Amino acid sequence: MPFTIVHQDITKMKVDAIVNAANTDLQMGGGVCGAIFKAAGAAQLQAACDKLAPIKTGEAVITPGFGLPAKFIIHAAGPVYRQWNKEQNEQHLRATYTNSLKRAIENNCETIAFPLISSGIYGYPKDEALQVATSAIHNFLRDHDIDVTLVVYDKAAFSISRELLGAVESYIDEHYIETHEIKRRQLLDVEQDAIYEAEKDVAEYNEPIFEEMLAPPVGAPAPLDDLVGNLDEPFSQMLLRLIDTKEMTDVEVYKRANLDRKLFSKIRSNKGYMPSKRTAIALAVALELSLDETDDLLERAGYALSHAVKFDVIVEYFITNSKYDVFEINEVLFEYDQPLLGG
């Protein structure tokens, strides 16, 4: 854990292993395969592949990464898409991801990056290829801890339902405040002098009153002391209490939140730990909190959802409508070029 989708050059990713969308003969090809061979060093990589070839569709083998930032290259043979045999297509593609992940675990890899296998010259429809990839990866991550990245080169792979996108778009239109700063700036330009004079007069008139109001009563503690002595329940403590209240396990929560186990351990063991806003929201989603409960949890970490931030409005839509699948939320965030929840 976690599982992330990105736009990036897979040959430049600093992970333990990258996956090559290979042919069964493990020969240098075009597209992603060709790019990986060139970046790694074509001659030495081909020599290593020749010792392992051929492989069957759905199988995966591993070689050193040679000139790549990645330590290993896992060569996985995806299926050539056949429209009349969709069930076998899916079985082979699913096996490609599962076997690649098995090779990674066998070689003590903690991070791995995939291209969208078979979605290029092999003709697998991008949206269907993405569905199989995410399903296979999710299933594997239920029983294993490994950080998985899926490198997607265009949004054509995302077949988010029109109904969902329409609902999110309507919610954004209704709640997203994009021009509040512009309106306020225009007001200041027009009325700046008048407002300044009025505020100055009021300040001069009320100065003695303000001083009297702000002066603390005799014998009372200083306001700062009051605040420090009455701090709210810290984020970590509230999180652990919510997990117990929801009768969930730690593993269930951090996997549903798309978080790394090590990060969750830091939160659990450090009572003063302050997570990022995306991490805090991911945990709220994993716990299926209401909007009020989410606001309360975020407040413990010093954050709040704002209608001036598109990311926040999208997340609020899902929480308000009790939609708590972090991967579905991330697909919509990806569509809007927003950062993703979790790791």
pLDDT of the residue at 159: 60
pLDDT of the residue at 72: 98
Phi, psi for 197 (deg, rounded to 5): -65, -40
CB 97 within 8 A of CB 114: yes
State which H helix or E strand residue 88 sits in.
Answer: helix 86-106
State which H helix or E strand residue 173 sits in.
Answer: helix 162-175
* Residue linked to tokens 């306001």: 223
* 219 backbone φψ class: left, alpha, beta (φ>0; ψ -120 to 50): left
Strand order in the sheet with 147-151: 3-6, 147-151, 111-115, 17-22, 72-77, 60-64
Span 137-164, pLDDT tens digits: 989 998 898 999 998 876 665 666 667 7
Contacts with 283 (C-beta within 8 Å, 6 or more apart), sequence order: 239, 253, 257, 259, 275, 297
CB 112 within 8 A of CB 146: yes
The torsion angle over the Cα atoms of residues 53, 20, 159 and 122, rounded to 10 degrees, is: -40
**Which tokens sit at 329?**
């939320």
pLDDT of the residue at 182: 43
Beta strands 60-64 and 72-77: pairing type? antiparallel
**Could you give all domains of the chain from N- to C-terminal order, each with its CATH number?**
3-159 (3.40.220.10), 235-335 (no CATH)
Give the HSE-up count for residue 171: Cα atoms under 13 Å, Cβ half-sphere. Answer: 21
d(Cα 293, Cα 297) in Å, to the nearest integer?
Answer: 6
pLDDT of the residue at 157: 59
Q: How far is CA 239 from the centre of its chain?
A: 20
Give the pLDDT of the chain (343 residues) as one tens digit per residue. Answer: 588 888 889 999 999 999 999 999 999 988 889 999 999 999 999 999 999 999 999 999 999 999 999 999 999 999 999 888 889 999 999 999 999 999 999 999 999 999 999 988 899 988 888 889 989 998 999 889 899 999 887 666 566 666 777 888 888 888 887 644 444 444 454 445 544 554 554 444 444 444 444 455 555 554 544 443 444 788 999 999 999 999 999 999 999 999 988 889 998 888 888 999 999 999 999 999 999 999 999 999 999 999 999 999 999 999 999 999 998 898 889 888 899 998 6
d(Cα 125, Cα 118) in Å, to the nearest integer?
Answer: 9
CB 118 within 8 A of CB 153: no
